[in-house]
Amino acid sequence: MRLLFSVFLLLIFTKVSIAADIPDFSANYSVKLNGIQAGELKRTLETDETGLRHFSSVSQAKGVFSFFKPDVIEETSLWKIHDNAVQPQFYRYLRTGGKKEKRLEMKFNWSDMLVQIDDQEHPWQLHIEPKTLDKLVYQISLMRDLSKHKGDQINYRIADGGKLKTYQIRILGQERIKTPLGEIDAVKLTRHRDKDNNRETTLWCAPSLAYLPVKLEHIEDGTTFTAVLRRLKGLDYQHAFINDN
């Protein structure tokens, strides 16, 4: 009887710990290129029957832009919580539909502190550090960390481009963002890069939506890519947005 009770408590607390983390969700973003409607970005977080979590991102051009850039870019990260931190298990990058198709997979071996990287041409290994993330799932870690972080910068070690990089995320303040769902208060962040870098990435994450990004902006070589949240499932947002009506 005591053993059954212990198992029962373990199951309860396991479910509570999963529920206390970021819930599963599906978020659709309207994408603009230099202010012109250009496509759609969809991000999904799901939990399978083993408790492993699947975070995916799919972007695709729409309308006239699809003739010039028909590529579909899909990223997937499988991860779990280990020592109260996000721990990636597998990452895939897939670009299809255009002239330059690409596939890259990364398998994290935490016992040996290695990542097995396969780009379909030259497989290799990368030595990693504790709490290393992939370049997609760090955004999940950011959502979790913003809820408890007190400083003005968060650093992440990312397995990116065949080497470990440090992503410096700086907190700039708060702004109210307009979206098709209404206005919402968000924390404004930027990824700090060297001064001679011509790229600039900014995120606006909403505390009332578990710090989900409600707007993303990337500027590179004079081109501005903007994604704004337009549809959301899974997160309770009825009282998160401010509507005029």
In a domain, 228, yes or no: yes
pTM (whole model) above 0.75: yes
In a domain, 8, yes or no: no
Confidence category of residue 147, pLDDT binned at 50, 70, 90: confident
Taking the alpha carbons of 106, 19, 146, 244 in that order, is the dihedral positive or negative? Answer: positive
| Total number of domains in the chain | 1
What DSSP line would sit under 16-84, residue for residue?
HHHHHSPPPEEEEEEEEETTEEEEEEEEEEEE-TTS-EEEEEEEEE-TTHHHH---EEEEEEEEEEETT
In a domain, 91, yes or no: yes
Query: Exposed/middle/buried for 166, CB within 10 Å: 0-12, 13-18, 19+?
Result: exposed
Q: Tell me how far apart the alpha carbons of residues 56 and 76 are, in angstroms, rounded to a whole number.
A: 4
- The yes-or-no verdict on residue 159 having pLDDT over 80 is yes
Mean pLDDT score, 187-202: 86
Mean pLDDT score, 150-162: 89
Q: Which residues contact 125 (CB under 8 A, 6 or more apart)?
A: 114, 115, 116, 117
Taking the alpha carbons of 26, 224, 188, 179 in that order, is the dihedral positive or negative? Answer: negative
In a domain, 72, yes or no: yes
Provide the pLDDT for residue 195: 67
CB 108 within 8 A of CB 90: yes
pLDDT one-digit tens code per residue, 104-123: 999 999 999 999 999 888 88
In a domain, 104, yes or no: yes
- The yes-or-no verdict on residue 25 having pLDDT over 70 is yes
Q: Tell me how far apart the alpha carbons of residues 75 and 140 are, in angstroms, rounded to a whole number.
A: 13
pLDDT one-digit tens code per residue, 26-84: 999 999 999 998 899 999 999 999 999 999 999 988 755 554 466 899 999 999 999 99
In a domain, 2, yes or no: no
User: Which residues form the domain of 166?
Assistant: 22-233
In a domain, 128, yes or no: yes
Q: Tell me how far apart the alpha carbons of residues 73 and 210 are, in angstroms, rounded to a whole number.
A: 25
Nearest in space to 42 (alpha carbons), one of 61, 58, 19: 58
Q: Tell me how far apart the alpha carbons of residues 152 and 170 are, in angstroms, rounded to a whole number.
A: 6
Which pairing describes strands 25-33 and 85-96: parallel, antiparallel, or unpaired? Answer: unpaired
In a domain, 17, yes or no: no
